[in-house]
Structure 1
Amino acid sequence: MTRYVFMFDEHPNPSKEILGGKGYGLAVMSKIGLPVPYGFTITTETCKYGKDLPEDVVKQIDEHLIKLEKSSGKKFGDPENPLLVSVRSGAAVSMPGMMDTVLNLGLNDDTRAGLAKKTNNPRFAADSYRRFMQMFGNVVMEIEHDKFEKELNTIKNKHGKKLDTDLTTEELDEVIVAYRALIQKERGEFPTDPKKQLRMAIDAVFSSWMNPRAIAYRKLNDIRGLIGTAVNVQMMVFGNTGETSGTGVGFTRNPSTGENVAYGEYLLNAQGEDVVAGIRTPHPISVMEKELPDTYKQLMDVFHKLEEHFKDMQDLEFTVEEGKLFMLQCRSGKRTAAAAVRIAVEMVKEGLITKEDAIMRIEPNSVTQLLFPQLDAEDKKKFEVLAKGLPASPGAAIGKLAFTAEEVKERVSAGEKDVLLCREETCPDDIEGMNLAKGIVTARGGMTSHAAVVARGMGKCCVCGCGDLHIDAATKTISVGSKKFGPSDFFTLDGSTGQVYAGKVQVKDAEVSGNFETILNWANEFKRLGVRTNAETERDAKKAREFGAEGIGLARTEHMFFQGTRIRAVREMILSENVQGREVALAKLLPLQKGDFKDLFTVNEGLPVNIRLLDPPLHEFLPQTPAEMEEMSKEMGVSVEKIKVLCTNMHETNPMLGFRGCRLGVVYPEISRMQVRAIMEAACEVVESRADFNFKGVEIMIPVLAHMEEMKMLRELAVGVANKVLEEHKLTIERVPYTVGVMMELPRACIRADDIAQYADFFSFGTNDLTQTTLGYSRDDAGKFIPLYLEKGIYEKDPFQVLDQNGVGELIKMSVTKGRTTKPNLKCGICGEHGGEPSSVEFCHRVGLNYVSCSPFRVPVARIAAAQAAIKEKRAAK
């Protein structure tokens, strides 16, 4: 017969999967000799039956109830010496407050009288009875909590009492009568048979697994694969018997800072819900040392023993009954990123855990909390959330509203410091305004939209896809319902939550401690994957290097084209009708690009730099407004009408699949020649600037390539120009090493990877576009249907945020295998947004890539994720 029920000390191999988190903690505490009120756990497997428990399960519950009676010396339902129990949920993963609990179960008029007589405390018995009726009526009989509170407050007001603890026994009797009348009115008779109460409570707790808040919690926290909750039936101990009793919640260390001090709250003469509900203000746990010194010392001993056993910071619930301590729960405590890092490092120094354990304790995504300024949590409570979008780039930003990139530039140039860029969506032309803005908010676009990708690269706060904001650039207004805001109004963006506030919420600077650097250094000891950054400015490259980036994995040259006045030369080049005209314009761009590349090489001395040749469709650089076209016509000496015709001719129906990437180099080779020359001249000049300059090499990357012949043609072009520049500078490839490779972002390139590898020194997978071209989804439009796809289970995660390992991942895996068949030492990496996402990083480790590349502020995330991937592999092999 299958065992569905176990006493706390009975299961031979307790686990969270079988007993749930709460049952597991009770089992462990019981086995190591801590003071735990006895009881039993109905396993998570039973949850599948809901309210229709099989007879053998009911029989096992009855048998274990008898064992509990024998252990306690009390009898369930006995009016002379009643056993009361709590019925509590407990899934394998902690879901605090999401599922249901019932305390003081087993009370009726007779057992209440017996409890009063046994304890010689009639007020305590009355208080326990009214608590039970309220909780059972709410949780099991589904009567709104507020209706009970209304009855309670009516009687408190009637007698001029402020707190529940001020009520006398007689006044509590009035509450009980009022509760009974409420239940009768709403649901009929209150059940008085303790066995029936128990069965109803167990059914209710199992049913709470599928209540809306529990479902929402699992969805928000990405909790998957659990079979249900367990139910724990435990002998009641009472914190509400008087001033030598109480209840509390504690952490073995401070969960906010990680400091190694006991942290928590407790209340005298109370039960658990009093601490949680906020009806009474609890005291810091340190006060307990004065009020109950002996019990406090015992509690601190328990704290120490549990940390020694679990090797982790613990979150505990306890009750004190007449000075005696009882432990009701223990679990790994939730903590901030700062606390997690400090606790992990200090536990290594204390000898509790290893460096490997410490690294595995850190949730990689959480460390971004340590890198960005954050809104003050207390001040945030004073503001109403105006709108909510996607948390595209973490941090906080406060500023007045600007509606175009030009407006941002003008206002910042005029001395205004705090300006937010508010757009329906951004485009490459907005780059300068984005760079100068304190933060960015868009009404459209997803987590890998242009605004999101660029903002993350800049380390700039960004909220995307905020559909409740109606942004009208023409009138310079934002409407939210009936509210309107303009250029003089301040907004606050919370890039960590996607929330937008009207007004100025206070900001706190992030604090990065030495412990964080320690964890990152330990990560380097274990990881095999290199971690580079996506950066094209000196500032971003410096920031990434501070965070431990091992070079640049993607420098997007087109981003450089928008800086200063160089966009004019770009437009002149695009609109020229012959090679000579284009070369004149390119000659203006060459020294500017060369200067950018020299900055990157200088910042990354001793590290590799990967530079991608021009990628986006040319029309993105063209003038859009009549004023811009007029200015362009004057500069080029041609009519406005001709400029309009040229711009119209450049229009593409589907630019994402159009005239871009390597196709530009094939049709206009002079563009690629200029860029390769700028790269190589920059490399030569930094090497010549100092005899000991450690130039590690430049990787010239050809984008949007599908065919071996494209690779062959453009490699020959790049090698020809590069060697010519080396010859002009009288330098060798050993002193200025360079390689030529490909950005793999089209399925055909992946399928023919063995052919392409003949002419490529490296593969860098551009997973943003590879996801688009493999799935046939536009990342800027997928937000219209991806949420529904996630809800329906078509995808578990947004494939633009988390690598589609079974689809896109298979193409990557195949490419690496085929490419290395041709060229065994082929260097492979990824440079899409997935390079900073932990599960995607683990995939890259598993398929044997050499490195990942991500935006600067994701570099620490990738370092930790890469170390965890190596540690998991090592442990799995044992």
Structure 2
Amino acid sequence: MLRGNRSAAVQQNPSVPGATPITPTAPIRAAAHGGRAKCLQRLVRLGLPVPRTEALDFDTVRGIANGARFDAAGLLAGFGEGVLVSVRPSSAADDWGGPRSVLNIGMCDAAHARLAHGVGAAAADALYGRFIHAYAVQVARLDPEDFDPAAPIPDLLAAYRAALGEPFPQDPARQLGDVLRAMARAWDGVSARLMRQAQGAPADAGLGLVVQRMALGVGDPRRGESGSGLIQFVDGATGQPQITGRYRSQSQGREALLPGADSLFVARDPRGPALEDRCPEIFAALVEQGALCRTRLREEMQIEFTIGHGTLHVLDAVRVTRSAPAAVAIAVALATDGIIPESEAVLRVEPRALLDLLHPRIAPDAGLRAATTAIAASPGAATGRIVFSAAAAQAAAAREEPAILVRRETASGDVHGMHLAQGILTIRGGPTSHAAVIARGLGVPCVVGARDLALDDGAGRLTGPGGLDLAEGDLLTIDGGTGAVIAGVAPLIEPELDASFRTLLSWADERRDIGVRANCDSPAEARIARRFEAEGIGLCRTENMFLDGGRLTIMREMIFAEAASDRQAALDRLLPVQRADFTELFRIMAGRPVTIRLLDPPLHEFLPADTEGIRDLAAALDLPVAEVKARIAALTEVNPMLGMRGVRLGITLPEIYDMQVRAIFEAALATQPRVTPEIMIPLISTRREVEIVKARIDTVAAEIRVETGENFDYALGVMVETPRAALRAGDIADHASFLSFGTNDLTQMTYGLSRDDAGRFMAAYVAQGVFPDDPFTRLDTQGVGELLAIGATRARAVRPGITLSICGEHGGDPDSIAFCRDRGFAYVSCSPFRVPLARLAAAHLAIRGSGLSPTAPPDR
């Protein structure tokens, strides 16, 4: 029954209590009836040929599941004498799942005989066989292997009787009641509940059911075309306009998509026959309906349709499943065409989805099985040959051979190899471990905490579950977005930052009200930050500049120097290197602010820990190996994270900071346009530490002004990483023009957790509700956040215009950005590859916070 004569049928056969006829004016709500029911009502309002449909709301379905009586006979009578119906689930969100649809309810011996005369014996057999199969499996819970829908009807009926000791039910009302009850109870099954919860559904999520008159899809070929199919008007992978879909004659539901089905393309295609050629008028009607859905439902929809003896019926429409690049392209196209506002286009793309656009990813249809799954630490996928050392990674790069660096955990000495590897895998570590932080900055895929794997350095083998046994040189794939570790090669899809991506981010920038900078330690990272339109550099960790080749040797000479004059000689050799680094950073950022953190890690991190490295260092310094070992042992600290690092290093060995500051100022003077460098002191705990370092910096600045005759300004700030610095922020603000909260270390010190080791128990803590989230990936707003709030308040009380920001890894987390925005921070700083995510997340917050959030897209 088409929409045009539905009203009369509804008036003649009023709906039973708990069921609502879907008409243009029916009280259908997605929150009460589910998304499918609401979308069907919208299709009816658009005038699409939707068969008569009734919607059962959540409360009614919940009652049916609990055994409440329901007038199935009255509901069925509303569809007319001898009419077949289907029942489909209608949940609040598509990804919450639901029981499978059941078609052809009402098929029985009498209906079979009647239809055999109307549509032919073969079509009647197909309808009856499909229903017996569905009823036996989904209602009676029988083995599907015993009920082949294509088997002779007498055999199917006999199999049912043999299994249950009773005949197949012949009363259509009983059939409908049984189907409704089975689907309602399936929703409350343990596995169904767990799957919904994994998708974020509330524990009390309801299910609606939609009862719809069957458009059969099978019939007498002499009376016209019959079949079913699906059509959509954009490519779900790219979002570009393209009519795709499949159609199968003499079929129902989604049979056209079954493997091996003798289906047709919907649109004309050189690969085979198409519905467009067979039924051009129906194809034209579908195209018109798709355009109508796009403009009126304000979304790209996939339409499920059935043809019955040449008549088109639209059974359903769902939002096109799309990749992250397609989501961006579709949102931008809808806004460009004036169908939705630009602000709504921004809101339609989830910030975290952008990570899929910026990195290679494993093809979704690859069908590969992971050897293990660990902590996803830096997004993207990579395939390469296994190497077990930074030196091996360098050698592989020299051969132009992609490599995956596998380490138990990484340290400063591995950074040069990490730069050259396609991906990084560590056995230990968490989301803010050394490997994770460096990899995110480099944009290199990284998986950490793979404790199911065992690394035997001596034998050069990586072993793990399922008999995994790999040697150096074997191929390995890692997925830093999911944490998957896969033996062998996986097909990868390369990222593309197209015009739609740039347009969406430009709209986001117009709306956001908090700045976004990048954490960059090298010119290469600064170029990435510029590419992603960061507003500047919020954190440059200078220690990573000393880890390449000859620089590291000079740094080690400085560390080993016994006399101050020898130390200064080494620093004089490092000065031009640092100056060149900073000059290049200033040049790349082209006048944008650059915050440079002075040297932070303890000196022993620049020294080798392995025997081969120690021998090489001894040779380079012309010292006995024993003396080198002794010096390394003397510098090694019991608890280096709380030892002589940060400002303590600058006060104890001030000449190091003097060299860095001079390099910064000289680089600034050599750069056009002229920049005002921002110098940040790490690991401050007291006001006096700032006073001492500031005095040295002012002295160096004065010397350079005299030497060059040039005047220049600089901004001095503090990296707040200790709880005491947050609590005494008012004292510190006397000497600082900005405070940047280093939330990595601040979280570590507040919790008393090692960010490198917490991965051992973090999953158990989150699963048992000890922590709501991993505090190293999502800012703890109650504990660490309270320290930020206290520090901000006390600093502003002393210096009202002080600039506040965060520069830890939390700077790229949408929830953490929301916290900073609410407290009036000027900007967040994150790894370069998370800059687009942060820009979009900040725009989401501004749009929603403005109270001008646009109308939501269709429920389905």
Normalising by structure 1, report the TM-score.
0.87
Q: Distance in 1 between matches of 2:800 and 2:306?
A: 64
Deviates most, 346-355 or 462-471: 462-471
1:269 equivalenced with 2:256 (yes/no): no
The structural deviation recorded for 1:567 is: 2.2
3-state DSSP class of the match of 2:779?
coil
1:700 equivalenced with 2:714 (yes/no): no
Match of 2:740 in 1: 764
Do the aligned partners of residues 625 and 199 (structure 1) sit closer, same or farther apart at CA in structure 2, a change above 3 Å counting?
same
Task: Answer yes or no: is the 8 Å Cα contact 2:551–2:574 preserved in 1.
Answer: yes
1:725-778 per-position Cα deviation (integer Å, ceiling 9, x unaligned): 333322223xxx311112222233223323322222112122222222233332
3-state DSSP class of the match of 1:624?
coil
Higher RCO structure, 1 or 2 (CA under 8 Å, sep 6+): 2
Deviates most, 618-627 or 434-443: 618-627
Do the aligned partners of residues 292 and 631 (structure 1) sit closer, same or farther apart at CA in structure 2, a change above 3 Å counting?
closer
1:500 equivalenced with 2:485 (yes/no): yes
Task: Answer yes or no: is the 8 Å Cα contact 2:540–2:596 preserved in 1.
Answer: yes
3-state DSSP class of the match of 1:258?
coil
1:675-702 per-position Cα deviation (integer Å, ceiling 9, x unaligned): 222222222233xxxxxx1133211112
Match of 2:270 in 1: none
Query: Given the alignment, which residue of 253, 256, 260 partners 2:241?
Result: 260
Match of 1:836 in 2: 812
Query: Given the alignment, which residue of 164, 168, 171 partners 1:184?
Result: 164
Task: Answer yes or no: is the 8 Å Cα contact 2:377–2:448 preserved in 1.
Answer: yes
Match of 1:658 in 2: 643
Query: Given the alignment, which residue of 396, 400, 405 partners 2:385?
Result: 400
Do the aligned partners of residues 12 and 198 (structure 1) sit closer, same or farther apart at CA in structure 2, a change above 3 Å counting?
closer
3-state DSSP class of the match of 1:95?
helix
Query: Given the alignment, which residue of 73, 77, 80 partners 1:69?
Result: 77
Match of 1:447 in 2: 431
Where does 1:55-454 land on structure 2 (aligned, <5 Å)?
Answer: 55=68, 58-59=69-70, 66=74, 69-70=77-78, 72-74=79-81, 81=82, 83-95=83-95, 99-116=99-116, 119-145=118-144, 147-148=145-146, 151-152=147-148, 171-177=151-157, 179-181=159-161, 183-184=163-164, 191-211=169-189, 214-215=192-193, 217-218=195-196, 221-223=199-201, 227-241=205-219, 243=221, 244-286=225-267, 287-376=274-363, 380-381=366-367, 384-413=369-398, 415-454=399-438
Task: Answer yes or no: is the 8 Å Cα contact 1:348–1:354 preserved in 2.
Answer: yes
Letter of the 2:457 counterpart: A
3-state DSSP class of the match of 2:234?
coil
Q: Distance in 2 between matches of 1:239 and 1:363?
A: 38
Query: Given the alignment, which residue of 652, 668, 679 partners 1:683?
Result: 668
Deviates most, 208-217 or 315-324: 208-217
3-state DSSP class of the match of 1:868?
helix
Letter of the 1:450 counterpart: H
Q: Distance in 2 between matches of 1:447 and 1:506?
A: 26
The structural deviation recorded for 1:542 is: 0.9
Where does 1:670-819 land on structure 2 (aligned, <5 Å)?
Answer: 670-686=655-671, 693-733=672-712, 737-819=713-795
Q: Distance in 2 between matches of 1:532 and 1:568?
A: 32
1:2-52 per-position Cα deviation (integer Å, ceiling 9, x unaligned): 995433238766442222111221222233332222233233356666821
Q: Distance in 2 between matches of 1:583 and 1:339?
A: 57
Letter of the 1:745 counterpart: E
Task: Answer yes or no: is the 8 Å Cα contact 2:598–2:660 preserved in 1.
Answer: yes
Q: Which runs of 5+ in 1 are unaligned?
A: 75-80, 153-163, 687-692
Task: Answer yes or no: is the 8 Å Cα contact 1:100–1:204 preserved in 2.
Answer: no
1:64-106 per-position Cα deviation (integer Å, ceiling 9, x unaligned): x636633x223xxxxxx2x333222222221276543222233
Match of 1:616 in 2: 601
Percent of aligned pairs with the same amino acid: 37
Task: Answer yes or no: is the 8 Å Cα contact 2:413–2:608 preserved in 1.
Answer: no
Match of 2:577 in 1: 592
1:277-325 per-position Cα deviation (integer Å, ceiling 9, x unaligned): 4351533221222222332222222212211222111133222222222
Do the aligned partners of residues 172 and 240 (structure 1) sit closer, same or farther apart at CA in structure 2, a change above 3 Å counting?
farther
Letter of the 2:720 counterpart: M
Letter of the 1:798 counterpart: D
1:487-516 per-position Cα deviation (integer Å, ceiling 9, x unaligned): 332223333443333333444433322222
Q: Distance in 2 between matches of 1:350 and 1:215?
A: 40
Q: Distance in 1 between matches of 2:27 and 2:757?
A: 50
The structural deviation recorded for 1:587 is: 3.0
1:52 equivalenced with 2:52 (yes/no): no
Q: Distance in 1 between matches of 2:791 and 2:63?
A: 47
Q: Distance in 1 between matches of 2:135 and 2:770?
A: 39
Do the aligned partners of residues 577 and 44 (structure 1) sit closer, same or farther apart at CA in structure 2, a change above 3 Å counting?
farther
1:573 equivalenced with 2:558 (yes/no): yes
Letter of the 1:446 counterpart: G
Q: Distance in 2 between matches of 1:271 and 1:594?
A: 72
The structural deviation recorded for 1:610 is: 0.8
The structural deviation recorded for 1:615 is: 1.9
Do the aligned partners of residues 743 and 797 (structure 1) sit closer, same or farther apart at CA in structure 2, a change above 3 Å counting?
same
Count how many residue pairs are aligned between Structure 1 and Structure 2.
829
Do the aligned partners of residues 808 and 17 (structure 1) sit closer, same or farther apart at CA in structure 2, a change above 3 Å counting?
farther
Task: Answer yes or no: is the 8 Å Cα contact 2:230–2:254 preserved in 1.
Answer: no
1:875 equivalenced with 2:859 (yes/no): no
Task: Answer yes or no: is the 8 Å Cα contact 2:586–2:675 preserved in 1.
Answer: no
Letter of the 1:703 counterpart: P
RMSD: 3.0
Letter of the 2:229 counterpart: G
Deviates most, 369-378 or 334-343: 369-378
3-state DSSP class of the match of 1:264?
strand
Do the aligned partners of residues 50 and 434 (structure 1) sit closer, same or farther apart at CA in structure 2, a change above 3 Å counting?
farther
The structural deviation recorded for 1:559 is: 1.0
Task: Answer yes or no: is the 8 Å Cα contact 2:455–2:462 preserved in 1.
Answer: yes
Normalising by structure 2, report the TM-score.
0.89
